[in-house]
Amino acid sequence: MTWLPGGGERRWAIAIVLALAALAPLPLAGPRDDVLNFVFLVLLSITLAQSWNIVAGYAGQVNLGHAAFFGLGALLTRALWTSGAPVVLAMLAGALLATAFALLIGVAAFRLRGAYFAIGTLALGEILRTTVSNVLPEISTLPAASIASYRLAHRYYLALILAAVSVLAVAVLASSRLGLGMRAIREDEAAAEASGVGALGLKLIALALSTGLAGLAGGLFAYYHISYYPAHPFGPQWTFDALLMTFIGGVGTLHGPVLGAVLYVLLKEYLAVRWVDFHLLIFGALFIAIVLLLPGGLVQAAARARRLVTPAR
Amino acid sequence: MSILAQQLVLGLLIGGLYGLAASGLSLIFGVMKVLNVAHGELIMLGGYGAFWLVALLGLDPFLTLALVIPGALLLGVGLYWGLFGFVVRADEETRVKNSLLIGFGLALALHALAVRLWTADERSVPTPYGGAVFTVGPLSIPAVRLLSLAIAFALILTLQLLLTRWRWGKAIRATAEDWQAALLTGIDVRRAYLLAFAMGTALAGAAGTLVTIGYSVSPSIGLEWTLKALIVVVLAGLGSMLGTFVGGLVLGVAEAASAAAFGGPYREVIGLVIFVVVLVVRPRGLFGR
Amino acid sequence: MVGREVGRPLLEVGGLEVAHGDVRALGGVSVFVGAGEIVALLGPNGAGKSTLLNSVAGLLRPRAGTIRFDGEDLGHVHAHQIVERGLALVPEGRRLFGGMTVEDNLELGAFAERARAGRRASLERVFALFPVLAERRRVTVSALSGGQQQMVAVGRALMTNPRLLMLDEPSLGIAPQLVTAILAALVAINRTGVGIFLVEQNVHAALGLAHRGYVLENGRIVGEGTGAALLRDDHVRRAYLGPLAVRP
């Protein structure tokens, strides 16, 4: 990926957080449930995409096992919350579990370069999914009392906060010295190492942040769904969704994954009516086009378009 | 004991197909450093090709190979010209990364297309001799799967012969070793890449046909078989087609052994664990240079 | 095709500029090699000698300048097609196909059309020049010594049936007696009419068998002349022939 965006993250962060804040009163306006569900899905997707973006866009590694951390977060959150723990604490615990696992395998995983890291993490994700699906094959359903007291608005607000947190996390990271160091690694690892940037340490920090956020997103998933198979959040489609959203929007940018997430969920929900996986056909093709022609994603396309319209300064 | 032996034999039988599936991936990656993670989807397409040839033309399933292989060759040419040929313009590390990403997009698109065209249902292909079984002592060996193993082995041998005796086969090997030196000897490296990619795709198609005949096909076997192929390539290393075949057999037997030891559901896990371990400890694999 | 003018050089490089990223490797280099000539290219490490040879062979694209082989502009010709026209390079470090046998490596040298018809004769010629290779024709090249590998490399380039043979440091890392054998082989090859463009650290030996030579420093030609003249030249003597500069 040679397209490397400059600053501007702070401005975008503020704009996005303001937009999210504007969405806050939505439940009070008494909309239909499916509208709230749709926005919830967008918010969850933003969080998931941003979490994946941290390792891919800023540390330059393609993590194909991301769903494992989403799943771990969901697993622990569900277990603790259904046992009576307050949901926020349960989610934090889930995030902690995800991060701990990430750091455990991170040192070994980062010994692998590029594509090997990608397929290695893919395998790891599959190992976890298969194991969980064998150990917990039964569907997890909320007890009747929880179903009765289910408030969609609570989930909605949590999703809103989480999306804002993920955007702010990326913004802070991008403009920090850590972020700059990570960008150096992403561009040229050998040179970065030589200049004293501790590559492994920085990658581990990126991984911790990324998987922690993914774990929180997983916790949110567990809080939201009434019933699901415990292995479901470990499925590779969650990784692929995050990858597609981030890449198509613009990997390594702040607003790219947000744009990609919105577009992705829109298309998915719209097209799912007639043809279940059609959105994947489109996104698959779009993805290929982006990798070959426009590695910076739609964000890069927009920047180019803007340059065509406004005269050079 | 004989139950274990039976399981191991069945593992061996599918292992041959793992090896065939991996050989295509290994050839392509070894020659041009392109990691086509849609390889499993190509296997899936080969499988559907066989299914439809049988359903529409009533051919004997094994005979469909005569049509699937050339068809897959052409598909490979098309994919190279239309897609992967652009990837090879970059340096090696970028190639691997880009081909991984592109293969990923391709896999998603092909999977979605398959679901649309043929639904998510499993399909299998009936053979008139389908139930035939060879009995060797306490072991029952399904004839169809045994024949598939033999064909897989024959294809690998053919591949090996092509690579060692055919002028362009040697050119392909030379390109895999050092593409700049190959250019300096007058080899059109782009043509070598094209041939290798087409051959790799043809092998995938053949593997898919044999999988459908002996087992079944559905749109979702793509990811599963890509992983199997990756595991075997990492296990066996690059450079030897026969080594890759043996690697496949090893995986098949390992899966059977682990299923016997830990229970059926963990069959898949052992391969993935081996994969990760070998990847971290010895990226060149067991046989690779 | 334009007829060959008498006296026009086989290889003409004019004003060649090549860059590695931002670094200028060659800045306006002009050299020529006549048909049947042996021309030496001398200079310190990093001067750009390999860059020049690799550019002529088509492995690098120059930023400016022309390369003409037998009157034809090679600017848009692919590397493998350049071999087809009769221009072959023995690259630095041999770059053999390590996992393949001596015979396979040599036979691959005859891959191009121009070389295919006469490949049996070419093979015999290579074995005549380097008898030890005939004995070890079925051996995998990675098992050979450095000197023998160099023979295979030269042989492989010969198999392309070249009119001009370029060599990049053929004596590097080779035992002295084998170096002598290889250089003697080059003279024999030249006697059959093949031109030779030789980059060589062993300046004394190179200038001894070359008709002409060039001196390349920092990407520019700083000297040229006949072999004998360069041997007598003060700068050359001080920089490349003094007791500190000579490498065996």
**Nearest chain C residue (CA) to B239:** C99
Sheet holding C64-69, edge to edge: C23-33, C11-20, C64-69, C72-73
Q: What is the pLDDT of residue C227?
A: 85
Q: What is the mean pLDDT of residues B272-286?
A: 79
Q: Which residues lie across from C220 on neighbouring strands?
A: C217
Q: What is the mean pLDDT of chain A?
A: 86
Residue in C80, C95, C100 closest to B187 by CB: C80
A3 conformational bin, left if phi > 0, alpha if psi -120 to 50, beta if neither:
beta
Q: How far apart are CA B65 and CA C102, in angstroms?
A: 37
Q: Which of B86, B100, B280 sits opposite A108 (nearest CB)?
A: B280
Is the pLDDT assigned to residue C4 strictly greater than 50? no
Chain B positions touching C96 (Cβ under 8 A) are 178, 181
Handedness of CA A116, A117, A122, A123 (dihedral sign): positive
**Highest mean pLDDT: which of A103-112, A145-154, B271-280, C117-126?**
C117-126
Structure-token pair, residue B234: 């990492």
Contacts (Cβ under 8 Å, ≥6 apart) of B261: none
- B43: confidence class by pLDDT, cuts 50, 70, 90: very high
Whether the per-residue pLDDT at B109 is higher than 60: the answer is: yes
Mean pLDDT computed over A125-142: 91
Contact A307/A268 with Cβ under 8 angstroms? no
pLDDT in tens, A227-278: 999 999 999 999 999 999 998 898 888 889 999 999 999 888 877 666 667 7
The residue with greater pLDDT, A180 or C19, is C19
Among B101, B110, B230, B238, the strongest candidate for a mutation testing the A interface, having the largest count of A CBs within 10 A, is B101
Q: CA A212 to CA A218: how far, in whole Å?
A: 10
* Average pLDDT score over residue span A144-160: 88
pLDDT of B118 over the 50 cut: yes
Spell out which residues of chain B touch residue C164, defining contact as CB-CB under 8 Å: none
Name the residue in chain B with its Cα closest to that of C113: B186
Residues of B in contact with A287 (CB under 8 A): 101, 104-105, 108
Residue A277 has its nearest CB partner, among B101, B115, B276, at B115
Chain C hits for B182, CB-CB cut-off 8 Å, are 80, 97, 108
Residue A5: predicted pLDDT: 46
Length of chain A: 313
CA B186 remoteness from chain centre: 31
Q: Which residues of B touch A236 (CB under 8 A)?
A: 223
Q: Which domains does chain C have, with CATH numbers?
A: 11-241 (3.40.50.300)
Contacts of B174 in chain C (CB under 8 A): 97, 100, 108
Confidence at residue B66, expressed as pLDDT on a 0 to 100 scale: 94
Helix, strand, or coil (residue C88): strand
pLDDT at C3: 42
pLDDT in tens, A116-129: 888 899 999 999 99
Q: Are B173 and C99 inside 8 Å of each other by CB?
A: yes
| Cβ count within 10 A of residue A137 | 11
C and A touch with 3+ CB pairs <8 Å, answer: no
Class of domain B2-281: mainly alpha
Share of chain B above pLDDT 70, in %: 97
Q: Which of the residues B87, B108, B121, B224 would you substitute to probe the A interface, choosing the one with the greatest number of A C-beta atoms within 10 Å?
A: B108
Residues of A within 8 A of B29 (CB-CB) are none
What local confidence, expressed as pLDDT, does residue B283 receive?
65
C243 pLDDT higher than 80: no
Alpha carbons B264 and B273: distance in angstroms, whole number: 16
pLDDT at B285 over 60: no
What one-character DSSP code corresponds to residue B123?
A: B
User: Does position A2 have pLDDT exceeding 70, yes or no?
Assistant: no
Residues C97-156 have pLDDT tens digits of: 988 999 999 999 999 988 888 899 999 999 999 999 999 999 999 999 988 999 999 999
* Model pLDDT for residues A16-39, shown as the tens digit of each residue: 888 888 888 888 877 788 888 899
- In chain A, which among 91-120 make CB contacts under 8 A with chain B? 108-109, 111-116, 118-120
pLDDT exceeding 90 applies to what percent of chain C?
Answer: 59
From CA B207, how far away is CA B40, in angstroms rounded? 10
pLDDT band at A203 (very low <50, low <70, confident <90, very high): confident
Q: What is the reported pLDDT for A190?
A: 62
Do C160 and B183 count as a contact with CB atoms less than 8 A apart? no
Q: Of all residues in chain B, what percent carry a pLDDT higher than 90?
A: 66
Q: Which residues pair with C226 in a beta bridge?
A: C212
| pTM of the predicted model as reported, rounded to 2 decimal places | 0.89
Q: Residue C59: CB partners within 8 Å, gap ≥ 6?
A: B180, B183, B184, C79
Task: Read off the pLDDT of residues B228-271 as tens digits, 9 standing for 90 and up.
Answer: 999 999 888 888 899 999 999 999 999 999 888 887 777 888 88
* Reported confidence tier of residue A3, pLDDT bands at 50, 70, 90: very low
Q: How far is CA C157 from the centre of its chain?
A: 9
- pLDDT band with cut points at 50, 70 and 90 for residue B204: very high
Do residues A287 and A247 make contact, with C-beta atoms less than 8 angstroms apart? yes
Measured distance CA(A286)–CA(A301) in Å, rounded: 13
Q: Is A237 on the interface with B (CB under 8 A)?
A: no
Q: Is the pLDDT of residue B184 over 60?
A: yes
B 160-219 residues inside an 8 A Cβ radius of A: none
- Secondary structure class of C99 (helix, strand, coil): coil
What value, to the nearest 5°, has the Cα angle with vertex B258 and ends B257 and B259?
90
Alpha-carbon gap, residue B20 to B69, rounded angstroms: 13
Buried b (16+ CB within 10 A) or exposed e, B9-44: bbbbbbbbbbbbbbbbbbbbbbbbbbbbbbbbbbbb
Helix axes B2-32, B167-177, angle to 10 degrees: 80
C104/B185 Cβ within 8 A: no
pLDDT exceeds cutoff 60 at A179: yes
| pLDDT number for residue A273 | 67
| ipTM here | 0.90
In chain B, where the domains are located = 2-281
Among B9-18, C6-15, C112-121, C211-220, the range with the most confident prediction by mean pLDDT is: B9-18
Q: How many CA atoms lie within 13 A of B96 on its CB side?
A: 15
Give the chain C residue whose CA is nearest to the CA of B189: C80
How far is B175 from B28, CA to CA, in rounded Å? 11
Residue from A188, A277, A278, A294 to probe the interface with B (highest B Cβ count within 10 Å): A277
HSE, CB side, 13 Å, CA atoms: give it for residue A287. Answer: 28
Instruction: Check CB contact of C102 with chain B, cutoff 8 Å.
Output: no
Contact B86 A292 (CB under 8 A): yes
Compute the average pLDDT of residues B96-101.
87
- Supply C27's token pair: 């800045």
Measured from the Cβ of residue B59, the count of other Cβ atoms closer than 10 Å reads 16
Confidence band of A224 (pLDDT split at 50, 70, 90): very high
